[in-house]
Amino acid sequence: MDIFLLILGFVLTILGIIGSFLPVLPGPLSGWAGLLILHLTDAIPMNFLLLGITLIVAIIIWTLDYIIPIVGTKKFGGSKKGIYGTLIGIVIGLFSPIPFGILFGAFFGALIGELIHDNNNLYRAFKASFGAIIGLLASVTIKFIVSFTYVILFLIKLWEHKTVLF
């Protein structure tokens, strides 16, 4: 049973990395689920402190994933309509069949929202749209770092207990 749990846990941590780039998968939360399953094996003792801290980090990152692109739009001069456009564009981009649909969705959502807000200021609209892209890329980078860290933690725990497991 431990081997099955190890494989399942490792798959979930790898899905965490993939989820950093695919918005339909909750990256850090998937990686955390992999750590949890690893600690459910008989060979590896439960470390509540590690699991608690990594869960809190995963929840914070999951929450910030929706906030950071909006902050990027606002920091680059976006209005409320630009922020709403960014959010709508991200949601539409989730279901887009084209690669990087979420990036295009965030960009064009902010652009359209800003043009609705002020039809005459194309420069401001592009600037806010660029902020949405910067925010989205920052969010992806943070999710990747956390998810990659979870994979490293998984492998360290596996290495520490290899004699008991194998």
For 129, the token pair is 């749209």
What is the rounded average pLDDT of the residues 133-157?
93
- At 2-39, the pLDDT tens digits run 889 999 999 999 999 998 887 777 889 999 999 999 99
pLDDT value of position 152: 96
- At 32-79, the pLDDT tens digits run 999 999 999 988 888 899 999 999 999 999 888 878 888 888 888 888
32, 150 Cβ separation under 8 angstroms: yes
Question: For residue 2, with 0-12 CB atoms within 10 Å meaning exposed, 13-18 middle and 19 or more buried, which class applies?
Answer: middle
